[in-house]
Chains A and B, each alone.
Chain A
């Protein structure tokens, strides 16, 4: 397998009253061709900023301080905006939480897909419309020949998300970023859209970066999981391993605090005390230390590096002691 996405040492900052402070710090990860990678974390952990970085959509006041981003081996950070445009949509595409705001409300959906196809292909409108119908069909929209004439308001949220996926696929990208793309949908619709993404990943050997705060969604969809906290990657590994034996105290706390129907209703849910760090008040050393029940003095001294622990990467200086505690 080859790496379609390779992010190295990415650091993003925002201005605060105390100068520029990191919101993503030294982030490195890769996505293989055809792989489904889940990126989980709470609001403010840097999930969406990671996605925007991959699309090169970072704008002031957020600033890319350093880092490299390889798409199929090319460091696209070095490209100019016009050079990068060749990549956006045709190598890497993105869908968002709210499909309605991604679409033009007063334009037929067929025209919106055609518009997007014509950005990538030099073909006639008529041929593009044919492709649009095919795309709608491949994302599971019934009667696509008629549906191209529909307006967004005539369709449900789940259908609209499919239209957005069709548009994202129009440039035949190798990577699709889905940023909370099923969060606003009902569970039954969510399951269908995830099933669709799963099928597309298989059929097209498409890599999917699924960004979600819903651990259940990540658990069921992705091959591998990246867990972010406070702008840093704290744990990454194969999904089943991460969820059955979380190593980093944050991953464990996050899993403990979930409330799905497998939890014991007679006990309080284990929650994580405190609040996630704010950019203007970032703890030294491990960003999770102030909320961590296992933290010791040394945790605040040094930033923990990601280390390989039983087949996965974990950023915690106490991992060797805690490993035995957990198992």
Chain B
């Protein structure tokens, strides 16, 4: 396992008390594979990414990256690991320094880690810009002279500059137009194949998760409610939230059955503080809404196979 996270929690103090942004999540990434983390905003996806990147400290639990327990690492201890784990974020423009040229942006990580000499760095920059499908002429441009898709390619090139093992892609294609998104997804797949990269792919877009991931974890309010291979999660979801999420994705394909609304009723449920033992999805769940167990019986993970697990007292029968 290249990343192994166990019982990871992160609590934030809010005005209304303590909020558990992450509630004891466990996940692992295999080398060369893609794990997608899906869920709606506020489910804890990005909090998990920040912890794994060592940008934040957990309240409890352990994070093992490349065999090292980073939970108590100081910034200087963390530094060598930053060569191995890089991040690409959502906004193509704001993650790049607008006053730097593309050349300087891609060279940045190599300068920070004092890698090579001027000549070898330039060679590497050229190799990277071509690997992400841009041309040498782009090197002298600045971010504002590039399109969103081109900026995202530059961000990917920069992330690859130190030849990392792991890329965390936090909504990395969410801001792109469909045709450009397709180009970037194809590029990411090719780079993974060529370089044996491991991806942690954070997205709210189930279509993208389906296309990219070998395994998927579904998060809801800080918990992993279901995990499994792509086939297990998409074809035979057991948690009602996963099923609801899949049903609510609009699909531009009239050959499938889902062509109309009505799967979810037009109801709104107020967010309310949850008891530790209760199922957080209960208030929105068509099955567990009035069940006593869902309100006060602690949830444990049920494993349907070695990879497929869910936390639900009344899972969907298969």
Q: Which residues of A contact B (CB under 8 A)?
A: 42-43, 140-142, 156-159, 162, 186-192, 194-196, 198-199, 213-221, 240, 243-244, 253-255, 257-263, 265, 268-272, 275-276
User: Which of B182, B245, B250, B270 lies in contact with A219, CB distance below 8 A?
Assistant: B250
**Which of B56-64, B73-81, B95-103, B261-269 participates in binding chain A?**
B261-269
Most chain A CB within a 10 A radius of its CB, from B206, B208, B250, B270: B250
Q: Known: A216-B250, A219-B252. Contact between A259 and B268, CB under 8 A?
A: no
Interface size range on B against A: 35 or more
Q: In whole Å, how far is B219's beta carbon from the nearest beta carbon of chain A?
A: 12
A258 touches B40 (CB 8 A): no
Q: How many A-B residue pairs have CB under 8 A?
A: 144
Q: Which residues of B contact A (CB under 8 A)?
A: 40-41, 147-149, 177-183, 185-186, 189, 204-208, 210-211, 230, 234, 244-246, 248-256, 259-264, 266-268, 270-271
User: Which of A159, A189, A259 lies in contact with B207, CB distance below 8 A?
Assistant: A259
Q: In whole Å, how far is B35's beta carbon from the nearest beta carbon of chain A?
A: 15
Give the distance in Å from the alpha carbon of A220 to the alpha carbon of B204 in the complex.
19
Q: Known: A188-B244, A259-B182. Contact between A141 and B251, CB under 8 A?
A: no
B252 touches A215 (CB 8 A): yes
Q: Known: A142-B268, A186-B40. Contact between A263 and B207, CB under 8 A?
A: yes
Give the distance in Å from the alpha carbon of A73 to the alpha carbon of B77 in the complex.
71
Q: Which residues of A contact B205 (CB under 8 A)?
A: 259
User: Which of A156, A221, A243, A260 lies in contact with B254, CB distance below 8 A?
Assistant: A243
Q: Known: A142-B268, A199-B266. Contact between A42 and B250, CB under 8 A?
A: no
Q: Known: A254-B179, A271-B186, A272-B179. Contact between A265 and B252, CB under 8 A?
A: no
Q: Known: A213-B177, A219-B254, A270-B182. Contact between A195 and B210, CB under 8 A?
A: no
Q: Which residues of A contact B179 (CB under 8 A)?
A: 42, 253-254, 257, 271-272
A-B pairs, top 6 by smallest CB distance, nearest first, are A216-B250, A271-B182, A186-B40, A260-B207, A272-B179, A215-B252
A191 touches B263 (CB 8 A): yes
14 further A-B pairs in the complex, CB-CB below 8 A; given A43-B148, A259-B211: A42-B180, A186-B40, A188-B245, A190-B250, A215-B178, A220-B261, A244-B254, A253-B179, A258-B178, A259-B178, A260-B206, A261-B207, A265-B230, A275-B149
Give the distance in Å from the alpha carbon of A215 to the alpha carbon of B204 in the complex.
16
Q: Known: A188-B40, A269-B182. Contact between A220 and B211, CB under 8 A?
A: no
User: Which of A140, A257, A260 lies in contact with B266, CB distance below 8 A?
Assistant: A140
A-B contact list, 19 entries, CB within 8 Å? A42-B179, A187-B248, A189-B40, A191-B261, A199-B266, A219-B250, A220-B250, A220-B260, A221-B250, A240-B254, A254-B179, A258-B207, A261-B206, A262-B256, A265-B210, A265-B230, A268-B186, A268-B189, A269-B211
